Chains A and B, each alone.
Chain A
Amino acid sequence: MTVLFLNAMLWPLAVLVVLPLIIHLFARARPPLLDFSSIEFIQRAIRFTQRVRKPKDWLLLILRTAAVAAMILLFLRPVMFSHGGGGLFERRNVVVILDASASMGWSDGSQTRFAVACAEASEILAGLSSRDAADVILAGVVPRAVFPAIGGNIGYLQGEIRRARLTAEALDPEAALRLALRLLNGQEGLKEICVVSDFQASNWRGIKPRLPPDVGLTCVNTVRGEAPNTAILRVEIDPARPLPGEEATILCDVGNFSGTPQRRPVVLAVDSARTSREAVIPAWGRTTVLFKQRIISASPFTISLSLPEDGFPGDDRRWAVVEPTDVLRVGIVAFGKGEFTAAVWARGCRALGWARPETLTADALANPETRCDVLMLSGWDGSEPARVRGFLERGIPVVWSPDTGVSLSQMRSVLTNAVLPAGDAVSKTVWEDKPESIRLKVTSPDHPIFRAFAGGEFGDPARGRVRGRLAVTASQLPSGEPLMAYADGVPALWLCKGNPPLVLWNIPLDKTLSSVQNQGEFVPFLGELLLEVRRGSPGAGRSVYERVPGQSLTWRPGLEVRADDVRLKGVDGVEVPLRLLGTDGGTLMSERLERPGVYDWMIGGHAINREVANFPVAESDLRPMSVAEIKGLGAMTASSGRDVREWQAGIALWARLLWIALVLLLCEGAVAAFDSYKRPVKARADSGTTGRGAA
């Protein structure tokens, strides 16, 4: 903290501070002489009152001296700088980071956090002098600076702040700070970064700004009070690409960011149809609401889920595009001896009608562009498990018929890349011939795969006999549950835990070893297996791919379409500008999306493709960081732009000193007058007699 005096030449006036003391001493030195009949009572009074008078005298002297000192300082015009100092004489370079993310749209009923932030930012800029330079960064997913380089046109910056619009973007604090540092780099004088934000914990927690020692960071928190909020956080379709006629599950996560439980109706809108479910959401918790939707055709359609509007309406609605598929693409890869099984799988798929087997090569597993809805591996020895794991990570379920000699560690490494105990590496599966054919049995009849067979009209899925198999036990396999097993307990169909699942197929389909593939129940069973493995368990389904505001949309329309004919229609029919990417010449890219909603790629007035941009989830939790956490950023914290302005431009103390002087003088008067009010004068010596009569 530094204090500068603008009228430093008046410092000699400081000697006047001893004036009260001199007057005090002078007044005591030359009092007029008064002959008095007896001073005995006066001496008694002085002895009595000295205990009170002495402190009172000292207090009066201190008050008077302080009042005079305050008045002298008043004329010296002091200015206080909280940090740094010297701002009066040195050029200041200030970069104001104005948080324009979606969370700043919270309104307490009178104004939004963003409106407060704009006012505070403008206040900070107003404190700069003509020789100072500044810039403003509107912070969102991608920070945008008003000036490409820091400049001195403060009025223009204030105008830009007035014109600034709130975005629906998430905030990237580190990107904003990096841009601010880049703007300040190479500037002469004081360098300061002022962040005006709500310091939303979900965005700012964990941020460790690495600032050079000559750059100061000041945080102005615009949060005023609590901000209870409910939001739709996630929409999932299970399965992600349902088939026509299939009943898809729509899962909707609703979050409650307040300290009290909430009860909210969630409305699912599909075209003009609306369905409502009531959600009871615990305090600071979330709940999942399920809707069932029968898929009528293979045409894509849009669904929206919404909540009643609250103080923060941006996150009360989410959209999703459901893209049904007319056929289920089953990628089948045959390795070595697995061609018999692969051929039976392919034949079964073709028999289903709605499943299209696509024979893939082993090299296709390494290509991330390989598309299929279910991957079936026959005779794979478990080598290069990362390739298969990639399919699982992309949400594609895998059915695997292992080759003889596959180690148990290889089986597990498909599900996880963790290093396994050395003992597992030598523990390999072995083929076991059964001269006496052995029967299969359903071990989990309640599993959805076997739901269709529960009534008996489709027969017994476990019908058929087998004369050879891999000799494995349940304890050797990755954690999961057996769907089918042999009569002696050896797992025949093992569903590994995971989402999407990995199914281990230990049923030989070679006609010399098995009669299962010849049974009439085989094809329905294969169909049920393919349908069900696509479904995740509730709450753990695969997210619909979606964009968020601040990002751009890209689309490759195809060679037969001219890029100029393509339009992107956004929310409320507003057209979003497009540009052709220079890298491949055929991909269109939109400007950054400003609002969440449905965006249609149009050619000649017809919607060809539809995409949605949803509210960023991180912006829904409006809780700010604590003051201690903000200070943990290595910053000064201020409650308003005025504070920052005073820190930067200094606080003019003369007005306060005037008040202090007046208060001191009032106190002095009060203390001086206190004694006369404290003890009423006793007037008992004015008259009165006593004597025998009175006695």
Chain B
Amino acid sequence: MTHRRFQYLRPEDIRRLAGFEFAPKAVVDGYFAGRHVSRSRGSSVEFRDYRQYVPGDDLALVDWRVYGRTDRFYLRTYDHETSMDCHLFLDSSASMGFGKDPTKLEYASFFTACLAYLVMRGGDRVSLQIFDKKIRTFIPPGSTGTHLNGLLNLLERNQPGDRTSLAESLRTSFPLLKRRGILIVVSDFFDDPVAIFAALGPYLHRGFKVFLFHVLSPTELELEDKGLVAFRDMETGQRVTAHTDDVRAGYLDAMGRHIDALRDLATRRQVDYTIARTDTHFHRLFERLAR
């Protein structure tokens, strides 16, 4: 599909993705006939149900066998298969710059690039929003190779920015998404879990299938022993001095509570939530999305 070597979509990744097909079970709206089930009824081979004939209906859809048995007109209806829009939300706040080989942002960019490739290879459309405390860049849905090039170029140019405000970004971007589809958020979720899910509410209400990928480095999950250190917040610049041995238990407890809160809310709202450790290969994340 592409001949140029991109940083976040390497040939070896493309080869490994050959065995994957992006097909989450989601009901979508679409302009073009495709592989995904649409809520609108249409012409396909997938029978849906019967309904009574009303004037104006196409007579070709009348089930004459039923008429022969019941002396009443009933129409056979079929599901309309359509193409899918996949909306990628990539967190580019300063905290995503944490970590080494790779940073959380690099890891997220790898995942996003491969995901975009996988979606477009299936003939579906993909959009990308890069945000920190607000939406920095929005690439509308598209499914062409040019669209993928532009998306990959954008990822390569992307740098960690300001503070995280995922809830605000989600609220802002909701009007931009014309059709429902799949919403994939890749972030470190350093925001209030309740506010995040409050912002996701309109999407879920509209029928979006939401996937949350929580990118965390091993250091964040385990808080390695560094002795007495001055921690500097990468987003606010604030400093606090503590001994890692002293605060480890409390930190892990607080982090655990945050993750538990996200997980509980996701379970309640039927949102798919996955922790993405940067020391594991991002291909494993596709197992949550591909079939």
> How distant is the Cα of A46 from the Cα of B241 in the complex, in angstroms?
9
> How distant is the Cα of A683 from the Cα of B233 in the complex, in angstroms?
23
Enumerate B142-178 residues with CB–CB distance to A below 8 Å.
none
Asked if residues A686 and B221 are in contact (CB atoms below 8 Å), the reply is yes
Interface digits, A137-162 against B, CB 8 Å rule (1 contact, 0 not)? Answer: 00000000000000000000000000
Asked if residues B253 and A689 are in contact (CB atoms below 8 Å), the reply is no
Stretch at the interface among A2-10, A29-37, A172-180: A29-37
B270 within 8 A of A: yes
Interface digits, B252-291 against A, CB 8 Å rule (1 contact, 0 not)? Answer: 1111101110010011101111110100000000001000
Chain B residue with Cβ nearest A40? B190
> How distant is the Cα of A464 from the Cα of B168 in the complex, in angstroms?
146
Residues of B within 8 A of A692 (CB): 270-272
Interface digits, A629-648 against B, CB 8 Å rule (1 contact, 0 not)? Answer: 00000000000000000000
Residue among A28, A42, A682, A691 making CB contact with B240, cutoff 8 Å: A42
Asked if residues B226 and A34 are in contact (CB atoms below 8 Å), the reply is yes
Asked if residues A35 and B98 are in contact (CB atoms below 8 Å), the reply is yes
> How distant is the Cα of A245 from the Cα of B228 in the complex, in angstroms?
109
Residues of A within 8 A of B104 (CB): 37
A111 within 8 A of B: no
Residue among B222, B228, B251 making CB contact with A42, cutoff 8 Å: B251
Least CB distance, A360 to chain B, in whole angstroms: 109
> How distant is the Cα of A558 from the Cα of B251 in the complex, in angstroms?
112
Enumerate B234-262 residues with CB–CB distance to A below 8 Å.
234-235, 238-242, 245-256, 258-260
Asked if residues B274 and A31 are in contact (CB atoms below 8 Å), the reply is no
Q: When A34-B229, A35-B234, A45-B253 are in contact, do A691 and B266 touch as well, CB less than 8 Å?
A: yes
Residues of A within 8 A of B238 (CB): 39
Residue among B98, B242, B288 making CB contact with A689, cutoff 8 Å: B288
Residues of B within 8 A of A688 (CB): 263, 275
B230 within 8 A of A: yes
Asked if residues B232 and A45 are in contact (CB atoms below 8 Å), the reply is no
> How distant is the Cα of A686 from the Cα of B273 in the complex, in angstroms?
14
Residues of A within 8 A of B190 (CB): 37-38, 40
A628 within 8 A of B: no
Least CB distance, B135 to chain A, in whole angstroms: 21
A559 within 8 A of B: no
Asked if residues B230 and A33 are in contact (CB atoms below 8 Å), the reply is yes
Least CB distance, A64 to chain B, in whole angstroms: 15
Residue among A37, A679, A682, A691 making CB contact with B188, cutoff 8 Å: A37
Chain A residue with Cβ nearest B213? A689
> How distant is the Cα of A679 from the Cα of B271 in the complex, in angstroms?
33
Contact count A vs B, C-beta below 8 Å: 144
Residues of A within 8 A of B220 (CB): 37
Residues of B within 8 A of A675 (CB): 245-246, 249
Asked if residues B249 and A36 are in contact (CB atoms below 8 Å), the reply is no
B231 within 8 A of A: yes
Residues of B within 8 A of A42 (CB): 231, 240, 242, 247, 251
> How distant is the Cα of A42 from the Cα of B190 in the complex, in angstroms?
13
Asked if residues A53 and B246 are in contact (CB atoms below 8 Å), the reply is yes
Chain B residue with Cβ nearest A36? B231
**How many positions in chain B have a CB within 8 Å of any CB in the partner chain?**
54
Asked if residues B230 and A46 are in contact (CB atoms below 8 Å), the reply is no
> How distant is the Cα of A73 from the Cα of B263 in the complex, in angstroms?
59
Most buried by B among A44, A53, A689: A689
> How distant is the Cα of A28 from the Cα of B217 in the complex, in angstroms?
27
Asked if residues A49 and B259 are in contact (CB atoms below 8 Å), the reply is no
Asked if residues A683 and B241 are in contact (CB atoms below 8 Å), the reply is no
Residues of A within 8 A of B260 (CB): 684
Asked if residues B270 and A685 are in contact (CB atoms below 8 Å), the reply is no
> How distant is the Cα of A685 from the Cα of B240 in the complex, in angstroms?
23
Asked if residues B253 and A48 are in contact (CB atoms below 8 Å), the reply is yes
> How distant is the Cα of A43 from the Cα of B274 in the complex, in angstroms?
26
A370 within 8 A of B: no
Residues of A within 8 A of B109 (CB): none
Interface digits, A451-472 against B, CB 8 Å rule (1 contact, 0 not)? Answer: 0000000000000000000000
> How distant is the Cα of A38 from the Cα of B221 in the complex, in angstroms?
12
> How distant is the Cα of A35 from the Cα of B248 in the complex, in angstroms?
16
A694 within 8 A of B: yes
Enumerate A518-553 residues with CB–CB distance to B below 8 Å.
none
Asked if residues A46 and B240 are in contact (CB atoms below 8 Å), the reply is yes
Least CB distance, B12 to chain A, in whole angstroms: 25
B216 within 8 A of A: yes
Q: When A31-B241, A690-B263 are in contact, do A682 and B252 touch as well, CB less than 8 Å?
A: yes
Q: When A33-B232, A34-B226 are in contact, do A685 and B252 touch as well, CB less than 8 Å?
A: yes
Residue among B231, B246, B273 making CB contact with A690, cutoff 8 Å: B273
A58 within 8 A of B: no
A695 within 8 A of B: yes
A41 within 8 A of B: yes
Asked if residues B233 and A691 are in contact (CB atoms below 8 Å), the reply is no
Q: When A42-B247, A49-B246, A689-B273 are in contact, do A695 and B267 touch as well, CB less than 8 Å?
A: yes
Interface digits, A651-695 against B, CB 8 Å rule (1 contact, 0 not)? Answer: 000000000000000000000000110010111111111111011
Asked if residues B252 and A32 are in contact (CB atoms below 8 Å), the reply is no
Interface digits, A384-408 against B, CB 8 Å rule (1 contact, 0 not)? Answer: 0000000000000000000000000
Interface digits, B79-109 against A, CB 8 Å rule (1 contact, 0 not)? Answer: 0000000000000000110110000100000
Pick 16 A–B contacts, CB within 8 A, sort by A.
Answer: A33-B230, A34-B230, A37-B190, A37-B234, A38-B234, A39-B240, A40-B190, A40-B254, A41-B254, A43-B240, A45-B249, A48-B250, A49-B246, A679-B249, A684-B260, A691-B288
Closest 5 CB pairs of A and B: A45-B250, A691-B272, A37-B98, A41-B254, A37-B95
Residues in chain B within 8 A of chain A (CB atoms): 95-96, 98-99, 104, 188, 190, 216-217, 220-222, 226-235, 238-242, 245-256, 258-260, 263, 266-268, 270-275, 277, 288
